Chains A and B, each alone.
Chain A
Amino acid sequence: MEAFVKPGEKNRLKERPERPVKQELQPRVVKTPDGQEITVEPLKDYYCEAPPRVHPPAYAKIVEDLFNWARAESLWILGFGTGCGAIEMRPLMTPRFDAYRYGIQWRPTPRQANLFVISGYLSVKTLKRAIRSYEQMQNPKYVVGLGSCTINGGMYWDSYNTIKRLDRYLPVDLYITGCMPRPEALLAGFLELKKIIKAGKGEGANRYAENFDWYKANQKQVIHDWDMPDYSW
């Protein structure tokens, strides 16, 4: 892992004009059906703003080991197909490969998921949603980069709309190369992830919190209309 660089140090971004806040995100007064008038400030009300916190392992090693074992054996994948790799998730969760056997399930909401599978390239527009989804997941949480394009841009290496290195924007625990990786490779990846978690090395969420400024600077460099709080757990 490359050393974290301070924000601004590698900022090659051109000066870009400030974008006005979208109308639907501006504060407004809403009249409720019973006649009350309440002020809505979407940027505050829609998000739960709080700084991220590092949650170090809190218990004795034997307890943490037990917990890590449970975390590893119960991987709940967030149901967010960010790119084309998502198509191989379906065979994985269906009869042919039946990942449920390995304690892998999918959850439709980020609050309940622990594993975010970035299924391939991320366009800037999706990156924004992926960050939001990631931040809503609970610590500890894991990110798996699926496919070549999460490693070094893949075949979209010269595209103006996709990020090239996922590790700059989210803390990634594991990469599975391929374009796209087969379900068997995904499965092997998840089993490898289990080993990482059991060894107590799946601390991506804490890494994210520790280097929060660095990640944010990188994210803001490509997301030009940043109309959300920096962090919204």
Chain B
Amino acid sequence: MALFELDRSQYPEAKADGSLDIDLASGKYLKLWQGPQHPGITGNMSVELTVCGDEVVEGRTHVGYLHRGFEKLMERRTFIQCFPIVCRICVPEPDFNEYCYAAAVEELAGLEVPERAHWIRTLILEMGRINSYMMYLGGQAGSFGMGVIGQWATYVRDLMLDRFEEMTGARIYHMFILPGGVRDGLPEGFAVRMEETLREVERALKDINDVMYCNAVFKKRTVGVGVITPEMIEPYGVTGPNARAAGVAKDVRKDQPYLVYPELDFEPVTGSVSDIYTRADVRRRDVHVSIDLIRQILQKMPKDGPVMTRLPNVLNWKIPEGETYIRGECSRGEYGYYLVTDGSGYPRRVNVRGPSYTHAMALLEKLIVNANISDVAGLMVSLHTYPPEIER
């Protein structure tokens, strides 16, 4: 209805760098801060909105509330001491940090990882992916005021955390994948309990599908909102489900297979138009892929064999000079570790490339313009970003 269309001609012109010259003194605009203390924000970050009526004229992401200086701290920790700290970079899916870091160290130190450790690592990463998506599903529904999805999703995530707990000995920060392999094999009867959990996940997914995806109001809120056009993908470094929803069938698991992905059978999930709905849908289907992958892994993985290579004395561990980049496909996109060593017992530099770095900064600031205030939270959640991996 044309009745509600706003006249955008009165908005200020964007400058070359995309910023706007907004005269707050004119009284036409209102400055709004979403976050850091704001229930609609993902994690602890904030968005500075300049609104005109209900429309956002400009949005600026502010991060740093969770900055702990990991990259600096790692420079003064030995290679083994870095291993417990890396997982803290991303809370909902910490295992990716552990894997990337371990793989980078293994490559530079020339360690061979036992076959079974690869399988267990893949298993952990896929379990973590489900968890991360469940977290997202709850957040996405919650951002539109549908709390019940969050209840279900968090519950099945919790069941998955139980599996994590019995396998790794911890709920959130598993600290299980360390350079050289993994700590231990699977506990007795793990596959059976895992299958039960997977069934629960599937059941919850079906319910969520019925209630959230086949929902007139949800569709109304999300279809066609916050579209990432294919043209935006390269300039804004969009990866993962955000890009796949736009039809870019790029998945690191397929393109540059790592761990045991070459031996697993799956197809990357894609969509057609990357709006909030499709992105949510891609993620839902991705959970199904992960469930299938976990089943394949549990079926195909070797039942015995070592899970840990013999490490040198970690207290005196030095790694020859070199640099490398390890990437993987986490639930949010491309996760990578850039590790530089200088022959000493400490990393020279570690740089963590989290997908949120591009998604929550440049991309969000781009997408947020002309959005409705009501959609800001939903839009932000739909990019599936976690601030700690931006500021680390």
Contacts and interface: CB of A to CB of B under 8 A. Distances in A.
Per the CB under 8 Å rule, do A and B touch in the complex?
yes
A86 B37 CA distance: 12
Given A81-B44, A84-B388, A110-B37, A125 B65 contact: yes
B66 interface: yes
B64 interface: yes
Contacts of B158: 91, 94, 96
Contacts of A126: 36, 44, 65-66
A155 B65 contact: no
A158 B69 CA distance: 10
A84 B151 contact: no
B69 A161 contact: yes
A161 to B, nearest CB: 5
A161 B67 contact: yes
A45 to B, nearest CB: 13
Given A30-B27, A158-B73, A121 B68 contact: yes
Interface in A74-96: 78-84, 86-88, 90-91, 94-96
A28 B24 CA distance: 10
Contacts of B27: 30-33
Contact of A96 (B88, B155, B388): B155
Nearest to B28: A33
Contacts of A162: 68
A184 to B, nearest CB: 10
Contacts of A206: none
Interface string B165-188: 000000111000000000000000
B62 to A, nearest CB: 9
Interface string A179-203: 1101000000000000000000000
A29 interface: yes
Interface in B129-172: 135, 138, 150-152, 154-155, 157-158, 161, 171-172
B85 interface: yes
A155 B88 contact: yes
Interface of A: 24, 28-33, 78-84, 86-88, 90-91, 94-96, 108, 110, 121, 123, 125-126, 129, 133, 155-156, 158-162, 179-180, 182
CB-CB nearest 4 A-B residue pairs: A94-B154, A80-B37, A126-B65, A108-B39
Given A33-B27, A155-B84, A160-B72, 19 more contacts: A30-B27, A31-B25, A32-B27, A78-B37, A81-B43, A82-B44, A83-B66, A84-B91, A86-B44, A87-B92, A88-B171, A94-B154, A94-B158, A125-B67, A126-B44, A129-B37, A133-B37, A155-B85, A158-B76
30 contacts: A24-B24, A30-B24, A31-B26, A32-B27, A78-B37, A79-B37, A80-B36, A80-B37, A82-B44, A84-B91, A84-B172, A86-B44, A87-B92, A87-B135, A90-B138, A90-B150, A91-B154, A91-B161, A94-B138, A94-B151, A96-B158, A121-B68, A125-B65, A155-B84, A156-B68, A156-B73, A158-B73, A159-B73, A160-B69, A162-B68
Interface of B: 24-28, 31, 36-39, 43-44, 64-69, 72-73, 76, 84-85, 88, 91-92, 135, 138, 150-152, 154-155, 157-158, 161, 171-173, 388
